[in-house]
Amino acid sequence: MSEYTAKIPDFIKQDAAVIYANIWEYSQRAADSFESDFRKKVAQIEKYPFSCAVDTVYPSLVEKQIRKAIIYDGRYLLLYMVRDKDVVVLMVERAERDYITAFEANLKLYEDEKQRDG
């Protein structure tokens, strides 16, 4: 058993559900594949949190040591951070999009949520 715990904030769960629903409109099988890949990647980074490289595309990601995981045949990205013994998923987004905007908004949501919950 891993000494780390994966944390998926509710807003990320909602984002993944929206992606699943969008893919499902075209193919239930493809949507199930996306969901399976998402779950497997979360299990992987929980067990081996440093198995994915730090994203070096944007200086703010390097500074915060944000790691990038690729899922669903490279079509989607997960960005996550390792804090203490938590592996926190901060973004799931299409790989070809400019994902830094979504990341920064999600990081703020996570930090606000964390402050509220104490």
Q: Which residue has the higher pLDDT, 43 or 57?
A: 43
With cut-offs at 50, 70 and 90, classify the pLDDT of residue 118: low
CATH number of 5-113: 3.30.2310.20
Q: How high is the pLDDT of residue 60? A: 86
In the chain, at which residue ranges do the beta strands (DSSP E only) sit? 5-7, 67-71, 76-83, 86-94
With cut-offs at 50, 70 and 90, classify the pLDDT of residue 116: confident
Q: What is the torsional sign of CA 63, 114, 90, 38?
A: positive
Cα end-to-end span (Å), the chain: 27
Q: Which tokens go with 102?
A: 């979504």
Q: How high is the pLDDT of residue 74? A: 92
User: CA-to-CA distance for 83 and 38, rounded, in angstroms?
Assistant: 20
Q: How high is the pLDDT of residue 8? A: 97
Q: Which tokens go with 4?
A: 């780390």
Q: How high is the pLDDT of residue 2? A: 75
In 9-95, at which residue ranges do the beta strands (DSSP E only) sit? 67-71, 76-83, 86-94
Angle formed by the axes of helices 10-24 and 100-117, to 10°? 140
Domain boundaries, the chain: 5-113
With cut-offs at 50, 70 and 90, classify the pLDDT of residue 1: low
